[in-house]
Amino acid sequence: MSQSELRAGIDRLRALAPGLHDRDFLLTWRESETTLRFLLAAAALLEEMHRANLSARLFDTGLGLAIFRDKSTRTRYSFKSACNLLGLGTEELEESTSQIAHGETVRETAAMIGFLSEVIGIRDDMYLGEGHAYMAEVAASLAEAHSEGVLAQRPAVVNLQCDLDHPTQSLADLCHLVRLFGSLEALRGRRLAMTWAHSPSYGKPLSVPQGVVALMTRFGMEVVLAHPEGYELCEEPLDAARHHAMQSGGSFTVTRSMEEAFAGADIVYPKSWAPMAVMRERPKLLRAGDRAALAELEREALANNARHRDWECDDRRMALTRGGAAHYLHCLPADVTDVSCAAGEVSRSVFERARLDTYREAGHKPFVIAAMILATRFEDPAAALAAAVERARPRRRR
């Protein structure tokens, strides 16, 4: 992309007021459509600047601090690389080696990690009813410390995945679809099948499917959610999906049939998640240290998964999609049959055809996170980005 094309993109960005300055980004469906359009456009511009070898360093100093309460590859390094892209240093809070292990409160921890920090990214997705609440408590504690003069500035909190939503993933998915179909408007009327799929593990969070159905309905897509009985999702994102479908002219339906969801679909997203009852019971047993009960819960959950072993994205089901050529999405890592497991979410043949595209899908995430940081930290984020483009400093010497 040329300098003039980048400037034109920034001019379009100026027309979108994100309304995120000195705020947090926690739940996608609680933000305005204008905010989401800004983030998508800013992420695309940051990605084009990166490909054009232009530096997007907007900070001379400052820290991007991460708290990961679950394992992560893509999101962990996307956060670090997003911070680095904008000029922030990075650090990760290890709770087991901090004073949290000695009973330090969330309020105190937030104040201590807020010194000189610009953004705090949090992943807390394993315990239903707790992840979003923890992020909100950190945000409230940072706000108090700033208002009382403890912190010179109020760092932003960015949701890197909680129990309810995975904003950086669903927005990266949407960036990918915009690239595939040409524009946000071109997604209107497209059918997306968000379906449960079999997995040999039992504790996968609900936040990816919840985030996907709540976001894609917002832009006029026809979203079908499919899952076996017992694998229902939380009401808040489902209510958001219904509301967004009505507002956008799209649709949102739920079915118990994977075949019904795949029929005529333009996009398929087969992804396993745990039953809500399991996600509610698991934290209680972990806190009680009841290993026997945990082992029994896992045994029952895996046996329940096995009853739906046929919920696999295979060539037969892909043939049901529009022209037999639907785009396959996944947040990764996928459970691939005869590759990473004996029976998984997707067959080897289907995944191998889509594998590089899923990498491209994941590749948008650092730029989505960078766009969130940009929008939360700068009063005029378009002007900040314009200054970087005009400076035209190469990010590396060729």
Q: Which domains occur in the chain, in start order?
A: 3-165+365-391 (3.40.50.1370), 169-362 (3.40.50.1370)
Give the tokens for residue 62: 């400052």
pLDDT at 102: 72
pLDDT at 96: 78
How far out from the chain centre does Cα 89 lie? Answer: 22
pLDDT at 227: 98
Confirm if 168 and 75 have CB atoms less than 8 A apart: yes
pLDDT at 348: 98
Cα 103 from Cα 94, distance rounded (Å): 14
Tens digit of each residue's pLDDT (9 = 90 or more) over 194-244? 999 999 998 899 999 999 999 999 999 999 999 999 999 999 999 999 999
Confidence of residue 260 (pLDDT cuts 50, 70, 90): very high
Cα 135 from Cα 143, distance rounded (Å): 12
Is the link from the previous residue into 205 a cis peptide, with omega within 30 of 0? no
Give the residue with greater pLDDT, 101 vs 79. 79
Give the tokens for residue 74: 């893509």
pLDDT at 261: 98
Residue ranges of E strands in the chain: 63-68, 89-92, 117-124, 156-162, 191-195, 222-226, 251-255, 267-270, 327-328
Compute the Cα dihedral for 356, 358, 364, 369 and give only its sign: negative
One-letter amino acid identity for 371? A
Residue 397 has pLDDT above 90, yes or no: no
pTM: 0.97
Residue tagged 């980004």 (tokens): 25
Confidence of residue 104 (pLDDT cuts 50, 70, 90): confident
